[in-house]
């Protein structure tokens, strides 16, 4: 079901697939690997293999095409919706902490995809 209401996002979103490793911030292990469905400077939609409660903080490492090192971000889960029973979840995340270098790498990537028309 596609959302038809007014656009509430502050940042333009690109439909792009980037490799992401993620874990619950308070856990030192239990890292999973996935990919984004879409990304903006303010957040992302990520496919996860488990449901996360809203408000859970995740440590994220994203591999972008214009940076040889993964960027590190702390994000908060807004929603985790089941797509395939007990297997795949679409998890919406808002970014909480992004340092300036990583933010610039994200901006460069988003701007590139916006200019090329995705």
Domain boundaries, the chain: 19-115
The topology (CATH level 3) of 19-115 is Thrombin, subunit H (2.40.10)
Which residues are CB-neighbours of 31 under 8 A, at least 6 positions away?
21, 22, 23
Question: With bands split at pLDDT 50, 70 and 90, how would you rate the model's confidence at 7?
Answer: very low
Question: With bands split at pLDDT 50, 70 and 90, how would you rate the model's confidence at 67?
Answer: confident
pLDDT in tens, 32-59: 999 999 999 999 999 999 999 999 999 9
Q: Residues of the chain with pLDDT > 70: what percent? A: 92
pTM score, two decimals? 0.85
Give the C-alpha separation, 81 to 27, whole Å. Answer: 22
Q: Is the pLDDT of residue 118 over 70?
A: no
Give the C-alpha separation, 99 to 7, whole Å. Answer: 27
């Amino acid at each position: 079901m596609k959302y038809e209401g007014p656009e509430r996002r502050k940042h333009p979103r690109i439909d792009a697939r980037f490799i992401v490793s993620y874990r619950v911030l308070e856990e030192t292990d239990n890292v999973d690997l996935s990919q984004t469905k879409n990304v903006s400077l303010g957040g992302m939609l990520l496919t996860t293999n488990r449901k996360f409660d809203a408000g859970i903080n995740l440590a994220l490492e994203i591999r972008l095409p214009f940076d040889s090192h993964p960027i590190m971000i702390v994000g908060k889960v807004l929603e985790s919706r089941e797509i395939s029973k007990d297997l795949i979840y679409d998890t919406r995340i808002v970014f909480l902490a992004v340092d300036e270098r990583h933010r610039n790498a994200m901006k460069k990537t988003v701007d590139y995809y916006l200019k090329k028309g995705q």
